[in-house]
Structure 1
Amino acid sequence: MSIAEAGEFGLIGRIVPRLGTGETTVIGPGDDAAVVRTPDGRVVASTDVLVEGRHFRRDWCGAADVGHRAAAANLADIAAMGAVPTSLLVALCVPTGLDVGWVEGLADGLTAEAALTGATVVGGDTSSSPTLTIAVTALGDLRGAAPVRRDGAKPGDTLALAGRIGYAAAGLTVLSRGFRTPKLLVEAYRRPSIPYAAGPEAALLGATSMIDVSDGLLQDLGHIAEASGVAIDVRREAFDLPDQMRDAAKALGVDPYQWLLAGGDDHPLAATFPAGVALPPHWRPIGTVLPGTGITVDHKPWTGGLGWDHFR
């Protein structure tokens, strides 16, 4: 059945039962607006948009994969503030000829990714459009903690990373060259694997700054460096290079460190911590905050690409 055949309210009727409810939801989908509890009294909010052909391709990703990606892009931003995600709002613009089953798969992916953090989809909107577009807004709760911003890094701080990096960028390159393996890399592009709990954890550990690495590590670290008025040096030797990535890079003629240092879509969390803070194993030290400005790799300027820019 196409969306045109189902109609707007028929489509909504197919989506809503798949969304579930959460502890902070007072009124969920079905009214003029959702009502959610804010235990902390402050709401952390973020929004992101995915456009077909720009952020995803349906021949590369299934509907549920796109749902996971759309939710993850926003949930990671909430975690990067040191907050716990609570709710998602989703606006969906779809071609009328799209199969209803695809949208149901999208809803399942959104719901499943949100459930990893305890969040739920509480509302949204639908519209027809020649271009498939998914806009998601995420809300989160700080649970009494101060938000971790980008502007608090200080010289002497340790730079650490939680989560995998470079995998999704490698998977994108593999897919763009017409291949479907290695599976590890392709699946990493299709569905992020994000340590959401590491965000609030970093806040409790005293992180001085934090960011969701969505567009490339060096580029996103540049936002911390600029906001904090510091320099940041990254150590190449701090990164693991899995065999699948090494082999794919060799076969495709790519420097794998371009994926690690400038690739996006994995959404790990990068944070700075005061020197001497005992970090859990999943927070891997990868560099140091220094006096000055800009980003260096092994104390030298990086001559490769920095990351993704929508308008560059």
Structure 2
Amino acid sequence: MSVSGTGEFGLIDRVTARLTSGPTCLLGPGDDAAVIRSPDGRVVASTDVLVEGRHFRRDWSAGADIGHRAAAANLADIAAMGAVPTALLVALCIPPDVTVDWVEALTDGLAAEAALVGASVVGGDMSASPTLTIAVTALGDLGGRAPVVRTGARVGDLVALAGRTGYAAAGYTVLSRGFRTPKLLVEAFRRPEVPYLAGPHAARLGATSMIDVSDGLIADLGHVATASGVGIDLHRDAFEVPRQMRDAAQALGVDPYTWILGGGDDHALAATFPRAVALPAEWRPVGRVVEGAGVTVDGRPFDGPAGWDHFR
């Protein structure tokens, strides 16, 4: 059945029936607005939009996969502030020929990704549209801590990474060339593995700045460097190239470091820490904060693509 067959309110009923409320949700879907518990007294908020043909393709990914991706892109932003995600609001603009089963699978993916951090989908909106568009707003709680922002990096700080980079970009390249393997890379594009807990942990450790790597490590650390008025130098040897990525890069004629340093969508977390901090295993050093401006690799400008820009 298509969504035009079930109608707006029938579709809303089917979607909300699949959602459960997490511990921070006092009032979920079904009223004019949701009510979310905020013990800290401050709410961290972020929003992101995914457009079919620009951010995802239904012939590449199942509805549940796209739901996971849409949720992860927003939940990672909350974690990058040092906060714990609490809720998601989702707006769907749907072509009338999309099937109800696909929308239900999307809902399941959104809810499952949110549940990984104890959050829930608490409401949203729907509209007909010629282009399938998913807009997600995420909310989070700081737990009494100060937010970790982009302006705090200081010369001498360590630069560290939690999570992986390059996997999703490699998966995108593989899919765009018409292949479906290696599975490790393709699945990384379909469903990112985000180190959500590393964000609040970094805040407790005293991270001086932090950012979600959504557009590419060099591009996103460039935002930190600019905001903090410093330079950042990355160490190429700090990044391991897994066998599947190395093989795919060789087959496709790509330098794998263009994926690792310039590719986005893995939603790793990059942060700076005072040198005295003993980093746990989830955070690995990849560089340092230096005098100057911008991001370099082993002291030199990176000669590959720096990252994603929607309008370039």
Mark yes or no: TM-score above 0.5.
Answer: yes
The 4+ residue runs of structure 1 with deviation greater than 6 A are: none
Q: Which residue of 2 aligns with 1:295?
A: 295
Q: Which residue of 2 aligns with 1:6?
A: 6
Q: Which residue of 2 aligns with 1:90?
A: 90
Residue 194 of structure 1, CA deviation: 0.5
Tell me, yes or no, if structure 1 residue 306 matches structure 2 residue 306: yes
Residue 310 of structure 1, CA deviation: 0.5
Q: Which residue of 2 aligns with 1:16?
A: 16
Q: Which residue of 1 aligns with 2:183?
A: 183
5+ unaligned residues in a row in structure 2: which ranges? none
Q: Which residue of 2 aligns with 1:235?
A: 235
- Measured in 2, the distance between the counterparts of 1:178 and 1:2 equals 28
Residue 291 of structure 1, CA deviation: 1.1
Q: Which residue of 1 aligns with 2:196?
A: 196
- Measured in 2, the distance between the counterparts of 1:302 and 1:194 equals 25
Residue 27 of structure 1, CA deviation: 1.0
Q: Which residue of 2 aligns with 1:164?
A: 164
Give the counterpart letter for 1:102 in structure 2.
Answer: W
Residue 298 of structure 1, CA deviation: 0.4
TM-score (norm 1): 1.00
Alignment of 1:240-251 (within 5 A): 240-251=240-251
Residue 281 of structure 1, CA deviation: 1.0
Alignment of 1:267-286 (within 5 A): 267-286=267-286
Q: Which residue of 2 aligns with 1:253?
A: 253
5+ unaligned residues in a row in structure 1: which ranges? none
Residue 37 of structure 1, CA deviation: 1.1
Give the counterpart letter for 1:169 in structure 2.
Answer: A
- Measured in 2, the distance between the counterparts of 1:292 and 1:299 equals 11
TM-score (norm 2): 1.00
Question: Percent of aligned positions with the same letter in both sequences?
Answer: 74
- Measured in 2, the distance between the counterparts of 1:58 and 1:304 equals 29
Q: Which residue of 1 aligns with 2:121?
A: 121
Give the counterpart letter for 1:18 in structure 2.
Answer: R
- Measured in 2, the distance between the counterparts of 1:97 and 1:189 equals 26
Give the counterpart letter for 1:268 in structure 2.
Answer: A
SS at match of 1:309: coil
SS at match of 1:26: strand
Alignment of 1:190-229 (within 5 A): 190-229=190-229
Give the counterpart letter for 1:38 in structure 2.
Answer: S
Residue 169 of structure 1, CA deviation: 0.2
SS at match of 1:305: coil
- Measured in 2, the distance between the counterparts of 1:140 and 1:167 equals 27
Deviations 1:276-306 (A, max 9, x none): 2100111010000001111100000111110
Give the counterpart letter for 1:198 in structure 2.
Answer: A
Matched residue pairs, number? 312
- Measured in 1, the distance between the counterparts of 2:37 and 2:94 equals 31
SS at match of 1:18: coil
Deviations 1:117-162 (A, max 9, x none): 1000000000000000000000000000000000000000000000
- Measured in 1, the distance between the counterparts of 2:149 and 2:276 equals 20
Residue 262 of structure 1, CA deviation: 0.2
